[in-house]
Amino acid sequence: MSTLDTRELAGGLFLIATGGLFSGYALAKYSIGTVTKMGPGMVPVALGALLVVFGIVVAVGALTKGRNTSEIRVAVPLIILGSVLVFGLLIAPFGLFPAIIGCVLVATLAEGKVRPRFSLVLAGVLCVLAWLVFVVALQLAVPLIDWPF
C-alpha cells in the first residue's frame, strides 16, 4: 500500500483551488473595507482564505495515510448529468414532453443496457404523470410541446 492517498490529495487541492479562486477574484474586484465598515469583498476573501487553509490540512493529511478503495464511476455520472443537461436544453425551446422524453431516454442508459422499448414506455408514462401532476393538478403554465421556429 502506498503512503500517498492521491484521492485525498486531489480533494485538498480542490479546496485550495476553490478557496483561492474565490479569494483572488474578490480581492481583485471588490473593496475590502475596514472592520467597522466592511466592504463587499471582506467576507469572501476571508472565507476563501479559510478554505485554502482547510485544503492544505486535507492535502497534508493525504501524504501520511494510504487507503481508499471505493470505485470512481465515470459512465454513470456522465449519463445522469447528461440527462439533466438534455432536459435543461430542451425545456425552453421545445416544451415539457420533449424534455421529459429526452431526459428519460438518456437517463435509462445508465443501467448499462440499451432497451429502447422500456425507455420509451417509461418516458410515455412519465409524460402522462407529469401532465396530470404539474399541468392538471398544480396548474403550472408550462407548454407541453413548443416549436421555436
Partner 1 sequence: MDLVANLYLGLETALSPINLAYCLLGVFVGTLIGVLPGIGALAAISMLFPFTYHLEPTTALIMLAGIYYGTAYGGSTASILLNIPGTTSSAVTCLDGYPMAQQGRAGVALAMTAIASFFGGVFGILVLSVFTPVVASWALSFGSADYFALMVLGLVAASTVSDGSPIKGLAMVVLGMLVATIGMDPQSGTARFTFGSLSLLDGISIGALAMGLFGVAEIITSVRSSSNDSIKARDVSLRSLMPTRDDWRRFWMPALRASTIGSFFGALPGTGPTVAAFVSYGVEKRVATDPSRFGKGAVEGVVAPEAANNAADQTAFIPTLSLGVPGSATMALMIGAMMVHGIHPGPNLVTDHPDLFWGLVMSFWVGNLMLVVLNLPLIGLWVRLLTVPYKMLYPAILVMVCIGAYSVHFKAFDVMVVLGFGILGYAMRIFSMPAAPLLLGFVLGPMIEQHFRRAMVLARGDFTAIIGRPISGTVLVITLLILVLSIYASMRRRPADPAAPPAPHIEDED
**Residues in touch with partner 1 (CB under 8 A):** 7-8, 10-11, 14-15, 18-19, 22, 25-26, 30, 34-40, 43-44, 47-48, 50-51, 54-55, 57-58, 61, 65, 67-68, 72-73, 76-77, 80-81, 83-85, 87-89, 91-92, 96, 99-100, 103-104, 107-108, 110-112, 122-123, 126, 129-130, 134, 138, 140-142
Among 68, 60, 65, which Cα is nearest to 3's? 65
Query: What DSSP line would sit under 76-102, residue for residue?
Result: HHHHHHHHHHHHHHHHHHH-HHHHHHH
CB nearer to partner 1: pick between 69 and 149: 69
66: which 3 cell numbers? 494510504
CB neighbourhood size of 122 (10 A): 16
Sequence letter at residue 4: L
Minimal distance in Å, beta carbon 4 to partner 1? 15
